[in-house]
Each structure stands twice: as C-alpha cells, then as structure tokens.
A and B are shown apart, each in its own frame.
Chain A
Amino acid sequence: MRPFTTHEGLVAPLDRANVDTDAIIPKQFLKSIKRTGFGPYLFDEWRYLDHGEPGMDCARRPKNPAFVLNQPRYEGATILLARENFGCGSSREHAPWALADYGFRALIAPSFADIFYNNCFKNGLLPIVLPAAAVDDLFRQVEATPGYRLVIDLPTQTVRRPDGLVLAFEIDAFRKECLLNGWDEIGLTLRHADEIRAFEARHREAYPWLFA
C-alpha cells in the first residue's frame, strides 16, 4: 500500500450530504475483476451527460459542465471536501479505488459511513473527520478562493489552511501507523499466526459445531 505522510494539494468541494457509493462508482463498473482503472468512471452519472459503460473512452464523452470536478479551477484536485455521511450504502471497495485512481489522496468531511471509512485506509486514502463548523468554513473558503490548497500532515494529525489556521483531527493509532508505513495488513496479522491458531483451537473446543 502507498504510504501517506504529508500531502499538500488542491481542494475540490462536493457540496451534498449522504453521497453514496453507488454515486461514487455506479454498478455497471463493478463487473470488472481488476482493482485499477476506475478513475475515469468516478461519479460517472454526475460527471458525464451520457450513460457510461465499462470500456468506454471517457475522453470522448460529453462532460457535465455543472459538475464540480469538471470545472477547470478544480482540475488536478487531490483533496475532496465533502458533507456528512460520505460513502454511505454499498460496501464496494471500488469506491475508494475510483477516488484514489482519479488522484485523490485525502477526503475531508464531518462524518463518513463506517465501511467506506475503513476501506479508505486499505488504499492509502486518508479520510479526515473535522467538526461540521470547520467543514462549513472550508467550503466557504474553497468556493471564494481559486487555487485553494491545504497541507495535511499525518504525523501531527493536522490540516493547515492557507491563512495559517491549523485544524487537528483524530485517527486511531494503529491505522495511522499502518498508513504512515504503507504496511500490508495481512503480513502484519500473519505475524500473529500462532495466536490465531491457539485461539482457533480453544474456539473449536468450546463450539465444535462451528467446525463440523
């Protein structure tokens, strides 16, 4: 996994609540058996005026000029500013795959849906929860300031605004460590294989019908 330490990037605002993973990446693209190539179809129904299907050349598709990511000022954005309950609905990891493949490295919102939040960490994508008032302020600043950039520093758990204000965020210590080092979680867990085997033996003893 790609590590995340510090990141400075252009911010794009997606000003709607309850953005679900069906909107982030529609179902027709879930037929792929690969982990890559979802970026061009990110927010497909909002981003393009035609109906998207897997394999289409998105460079030739008509873009919806009203959609925020199609506005020239947000081209190259790597930080997505969002509203509450971002990533709700389906557990599809294709959603963080599409966001990362598009080029996003971090997401900022007042809240994220649980499964989506979890999936982000497996893909080097940092979801940052900030208080609703701080997110409101960011929306106002981003919209008023072309080229608005933020500096995210994971070691100190801070987001620095261009005006110098520093916003602190919380993150589980274990997740932070994994992200900073880009660790493979399966490899980490398998270091405890003996403990798992010992647990399994006790579990089998207590609940033998689970192993019948």
Chain B
Amino acid sequence: MPKTLYDKLWDSHVVRTEADGTALIYIDRHLVHEVTSPQAFEGLRLAGRKPWRATSIVATADHNTPTDHWERGIDDPISREQVETLDANIRQFGALAYYPFRDPRQGIVHVIGPENGATLPGMTVVCGDSHTSTHGAFACLAHGIGTSEVEHVLATQCLLQKKSKNMLIRLEGVASPGVYAKDLILAVIGRIGTAGGTGYAIEFAGEAISALSMEGRMTVCNMAIEAGARAGMVAVDDKTIEYLRDKPFAPKGELWERALAYWRTLVSDADAHFDALVSLDASTIKPQVTWGTSPEMVTDIEGVVPDPSSFKDPVKREGAMRALAYMGLAPGTRIVDISIDQVFIGSCTNSRIEDLRAAAAVVKGRKKAASVKRVLVVPGSGQVKRQAEAEGLHRIFLEAGFEWREPGCSMCLAMNADRLEPGERCASTSNRNFEGRQGAGGRTHLVSPAMAAAAAIAGHFVDVREFVG
C-alpha cells in the first residue's frame, strides 16, 4: 500500500500497539532545555531510574538566558537556579552533547539541533517544547511533549502515542520577491485556522516549498503547531542532504552513503492517501502581518484591521472584539498606518543566518526610525552569531541603531529580561501573538524578518516589496 512520509516515519518506530491503537513509539533524539526538564529529572531521581539512552540527549539552556552582558551571569536568581539545575542534571545523567549558558555553540534548541546535524532525516525527535515541529523540515517525525512525557522518554526511550491523520498542504507557484517562508506559513494559518491542523500531521509540499532553503522549511514547520498540528514535515530532497553534509553529528564515510540511500526513500509515495488536502497559490501571497492575539488573526500588508461584526460565528466575533481591545486597534485601520514601539528579530522561527541576511539586506545603509524605542536582533545560536559577524551583518544592524545580542529565546516569550512594557507594540519575527506573550500588556504583530526590519526603518508597517523589488 502506498504510504505518506508520515506513515513511513510512524511505521519505522512502532515498538508495540495496544488494542485501541495506542502505540509505543521509539524516540531517536531527545532535545532538552531548562524550563520543561527539571521536574522530569526529579521524577527520574525519585523513582531511582536512569535515562534509557543518555546518548540520545542533546541539551542546552536557552529560555532563561540573558542576551547581553554574559560576563555578569544571570541576574534573576530563579532563572539562574533553573539553568544551574539543568547543568547539574546533565552532569548526573549524561548526554550526547550539552551546550550550556555561554558555550560557543549554545543557542535555541531548535536552531542548534539541525546546525549540528543532531537532527537527521527519518528520526523521531521530541522535546518539551511545542516548536519541536521545526525539525520536521528534515523529514523527521518531530513534536513537542509535556514534562511527564519528557520523563517517560528519559526512562523508557519511548512515547505512548495515537497515530495522527495525514494532511497535505501544497503551496503551488512561485512566491514573489519580498515574500518569505514566514509569509507562506502565516497565510496557511490564516486559511485553515489555529485548530485547522488539530489531530493531523502536516506534510508541506509544492513548488514554493521545494524552492525554500532548509532555513525556510524550518520556519514553515516551526509554525505547524500554530496551525494546531503537533508535527509538520517536508520530504527529503537534495537541499536536505547538502545541508547535512559534514555537520558534526551527521554520519560520515560509508555510514553517510548508507544513510543517504535510506533518506532518499523519505518522501510520500505517489498514490499515498491523505485525509485532508489544502492547496494555496504562493504567487498570490503578499507579506503577512497579524492584527490580533491569535496567529490566525492575520492579513496582508495591503489589508486593514477587520471589523469584528464581519465575523458570522459569534465566538469568532467575540474573539476579534477582545483582540482589538487588547491590541488597541480600531476596525478599518490600514496595516501600513500602524506605528510600532519595538522590533524583535529572533526566535526559533526566524533567527537563522538566512533570516539575518534578509533583515540586513533591507537595513543596509538605513537607520532605525527615531520613534522606535528599541530593535533587538538576537541570533539563534553562537554559530549563527559568528557566521553573521563574519559576513559583517552585525555592523549593518549596529550602524542602523539596532542592538546586536547574544543567542537565546529572548523576547519571543520574555522569560529573561527582554520584554515589552504594557501597551508597547512590537513587530516581531516570533511565532505567537498571544496576550502578554512578549511581556504583560505587550502587543505583538507577527511578520517576516524583512518586514520587521522595514518596520524598524519606517516606524510603522510598510510593504517590504518596495525595499527589495
């Protein structure tokens, strides 16, 4: 029977199946960070258990870590305790690799996995973090889990799972210059909604997906969770393989050849059955900007803030009214007329080298608008930071009046000191515009790195196609 990519990944990891279809699936890679792991390690200790296979673990501290003045350590004592708890847990239990605070290869867990070749096609990848879907860009079955499941994977190397349904999202056609992976995924979420993918594993395909770099595919898969799907994925092609060649944890020599032969099979069969099909024409997608407090509340740069009364569903209407009140926006306001206070370029969605290049291309030779209080550029990892500096991108940002920071999750979720003040409005390359996400009372508009950079220059949202056209 023809199989989807997801079927193949699933079938190759089932250890056993219960009568009701609940399966025990084997986990190849366990990514660990400081926020969702302490209770899991504690549970392990209390039960007198050990990790089943410590060499499956790749760990880093990213959520709580500061992005400036690393020489001072971590000011917040509660954050510091959490980071030190991870240090101690890895010391006690071991790992394949640990990139602690201030390590040259430290960074956001979803950036460092792929860049070190710790994420490989055909793997099952889990992490106590919903954006684990990112790794699906490498034809992995990758998804977020809760802390009890982190403990379960540590103790058993397995996860109890029900198989999801298959959804295929095709992005046909060629995206215009100035339209990026972020715009594609925001447009998808605008179409299917934040619950549209619930219960599904999504495979992204089509000309516009094939045309994306691995960085772009990671951006798309990263936000599969914002469409409700735990896992997003893209089939293996030459780009996947070229990206992985010579990465530290990628196989070498004869093993590389053997892996390659297998990886080439990680595509959906021609007649494979999908339970749901969605198709979008990428050539018609314009730069996207969210206006509300859910990623599905999105329009394009030529659009306006909608009138809540235009929503037929009373729950959606109520949601839009509440969102506009929180966001301090009036219906009918043109997106290009919305002024911003801060800009954040970073996060596991958009902090890779290509994201920084796209932002720098817009910024080069220009200055931050005086009305914009702060522009944070936070590279995804130490490696991304050094690469950007080797290319001189940091100088472009600094000359424009932006801040060039150390890697970490930073103002995507504002667990460290980087945050919005109540009422401040931010153009952000992150993934969630929820109430309070970037700081209590803060107002988030999700955009691509180029759109964020253009907004920093103009002081309000502008059509980045005018900059790059």
Contact = CB atoms under 8 A, between A and B. Distances in A.
Interface of A: 15-18, 20, 22-23, 26-28, 30-35, 45, 51, 54, 83-85, 88-93, 96, 111, 113-115, 118-119, 122-123, 172-175, 185-186, 189-190, 192-193, 195-196, 199-200, 203, 207-212
Given A93-B146, A186-B151, A196-B24, 19 more contacts: A18-B294, A18-B319, A27-B413, A30-B63, A31-B415, A33-B38, A35-B42, A89-B225, A89-B432, A93-B148, A111-B195, A115-B143, A115-B145, A174-B20, A192-B15, A195-B15, A196-B15, A196-B26, A200-B53
B355 interface: no
B120 interface: yes
B39 interface: yes
A91 B145 contact: yes
Interface residues of B, number: 78
Contact of A91 (B129, B194, B436): B129
A116 to B, nearest CB: 8
Contact of A30 (B143, B319, B415, B440): B415
B64 A114 contact: no
Contacts of A22: 413, 432, 434-437
A122 B36 CA distance: 15
Contact of B157 (A34, A96, A200): A200
Interface string B157-171: 110101000000000
B85 interface: yes
Contacts of A20: 294, 432, 434
A186 B49 contact: yes
Contacts, number: 189
A31 B19 contact: no
Nearest to A122: B148
Contact of B436 (A26, A34, A174, A190): A26
Given A45-B436, A118-B146, A31 B79 contact: yes
Nearest to A28: B415
A115 B144 contact: yes
B155 interface: yes
A36 B128 CA distance: 18
Interface in B379-437: 413-415, 432, 434-437
A34 B39 contact: yes
B70 interface: no
Nearest to B82: A31
Interface stretch (B254-262, B346-354, B448-456, B459-467): B254-262
B433 to A, nearest CB: 10
B199 interface: yes
B78 interface: yes
Nearest to A175: B22
In the complex, which of the residues A28, A32, A88, A196 has the most CB atoms of chain B within 10 Å of its own CB atom?
Answer: A88
Contacts of A16: 315, 318-319, 322
B316 interface: yes
B20 A189 contact: no
A133 to B, nearest CB: 13
A25 B76 CA distance: 19
Nearest to B294: A18
Given A26-B436, A207-B262, A208-B255, A84 B315 contact: yes
A122 B79 CA distance: 26
A52 to B, nearest CB: 8
A125 to B, nearest CB: 12
Given A30-B35, A91-B146, A114-B228, A85 B437 contact: no
